[in-house]
Structure 1
């Protein structure tokens, strides 16, 4: 596959992950690709990517029929530079020998990768635990419980009960969406109890959220933004949104 086609398909997949559906007309207007080129790319995507379904005039992403490892890889590679930027900002909040919790998710995984100082770390994510197991300067713990297939996150009541045995200096949590009206929300119920418990067990809570998650709402409520010490985002958050959140009293940095 040529580099140009690879870039086109990457842009199309990125949009489908965020919006679940894309017509050829929309793709032409948004991405400025020729209709004939888009039809070929759409057919290729439907054939080679699990969960991508072709319909007359477009593509849709059915997450329920997608291979779970493919879904994780898609999510991991979305806004990767933004996640790395957020991770570096979050790293500045951690002092040597702090006791912290790292929530599940790809942004928290990026933070784990840059933890070069000695610290004690509790996590609810199998991939993050694997990363920390290779870092001899960290004293690391993984919460036990049910693992969500394909997503590598730990949840349900057993994990929540185990989390209650810890009290930490700081927690770094992720979310699927946040807004001034709805607060922090998640797309699935599986991790909600865990995230609520993390917020309760930390002296300070930092929410790591890239710009694409702002002013979005998902079905399951986690908390209001007033429960968060600081929201850390990336430089691509529009100035207008940055000012709105700061004016509303949210401690937001980028």
Structure 2
């Protein structure tokens, strides 16, 4: 089915923002909410969007959104989250930053820190921090995933096992209501599990779009996370888990 000009524009907005709402689209295009609902239903029929209450989101499944699209999604929220997270990391400590656009945002916020040892399996993080003369950088070797600059595989895991980090900062592709952190690449998941085991404290950085996404591979539980940095009120069941497990929620609003 060929998309109308308005539907093509709606899809582009969803790619940039991760989700769209009926009310906002109706106001933006100066049409009725019924018209927008029909547009979203037709886009859902093509598999390009998934309908949710009040709007639509990019479809989840077994394949992640492309890296360049992920970089452009929720940039302001990622910056706020990263600022809050970096504020909890003191000078003179060791930190692991894993793969993801949210951890890259944290790396940018660490540029003014002093006397850090940063270990990463993210080539983008290494390049961001390379301009800081006060940060020692170690890159975990392994198989380079060209799509996003991530390093994965057994060599990566073996190097990480040689360290005990003061802090680990990780991201995830999805976060379900059971409190499970989810991702798409099983090799990346294996690396993330090792990172969590080798850290004294683990921080999760994830914007609220992760609440409405799914992914097939389980990294860990929020019970394994010390502080969860996000940008919106955590849904009730998930918030309850955090209370029960002693996981602190830090809202970057």
- Cα distance, 1:31 vs structure 2: 2.0
Aligned residues: 225
Which consecutive unaligned segments of at least 5 residues does structure 1 have?
Answer: 1-5, 19-25, 39-53
Does 2:97 match 1:82? no
After TM superposition, give the deviation of residue 146 of structure 1 in Å.
Answer: 0.4
Q: Offset at 1:152? A: 0.8
Alignment of 1:85-124 (within 5 A): 85-115=80-110, 116-118=112-114, 119-124=116-121
1:31 aligns with 2:33: no
Contact (CA 8 Å) 1:183, 1:225: kept in 2 or not? yes
8 Å Cα contact 2:179/2:238 also seen in 1: no
Structure 1 position 71, deviation (Å) = 2.1
TM-score, with normalisation over the residues of structure 2?
0.75
Aligned residue number for residue 160 of structure 1: 157
- State the Cα distance separating 1:208 from its structure 2 match: 0.7
- RCO higher in 1 or 2 (8 Å CA, sep ≥ 6)? 2
Preserved contact between residue 161 and residue 194 of structure 2 (Cα < 8 Å): yes
Shift of 1:224: 1.6
Partner of 1:231: 228
CA distance in 2, matches of 1:56, 1:131: 38
Aligned residues of 2:180 and 2:218 also touching (Cα < 8 A):
yes
Q: CA RMSD in A?
A: 3.6
- Aligned partner of 1:200 among 194, 197, 218: 197
What's the counterpart of residue 143 of structure 1?
Answer: 140
Q: Distance in 1 between matches of 2:172 and 2:80?
A: 17
CA distance 1:168–1:127, shift in 2 (3 Å): same
Give the CA deviation at 1:7. Answer: 7.8
Structure 2 residue runs without a partner (length 5+): 1-7, 37-41, 50-58
Distance change in 2, residues 1:230/1:179 (3 Å): same
Distance 1:229 1:182, change over 3 A: closer
Deviation, structure 1 residue 104 = 1.1
Distance 2:92 2:199 in 1: 15
Tell me, in whole angstroms, the C-alpha distance in 2 between the residues paired with 1:227 and 1:94.
18
Aligned counterparts of 1:58 and 1:219: Cα–Cα separation in 2:
22
Q: Structure 2 vs 1, CA of residues 90 and 60 (structure 1 numbering), >3 Å: closer, same or farther? A: same
Q: Are 1:180 and 1:215, in contact at CA under 8 Å, matched by a contact in 2?
A: no
Match of 2:13 in 1: 11
Give the equivalent residue in structure 1 for 2:5: none
Alignment correspondent of 2:48: 60
Where 1:191 maps in the other structure, the secondary structure is helix
Structure 1 Cα separation of the partners of residues 106 and 221 of structure 2 = 23
Residues 60/207 of structure 1: CA separation in 2 closer, same or farther (3 Å cut): same
- Structure 1 Cα separation of the partners of residues 170 and 205 of structure 2: 6
SS at match of 1:253: strand
Kindly provide the CA deviation profile for residues 86-115 of structure 1, in whole angstroms up to 9, marking residues without a partner as x. 101101111111111011111111111111
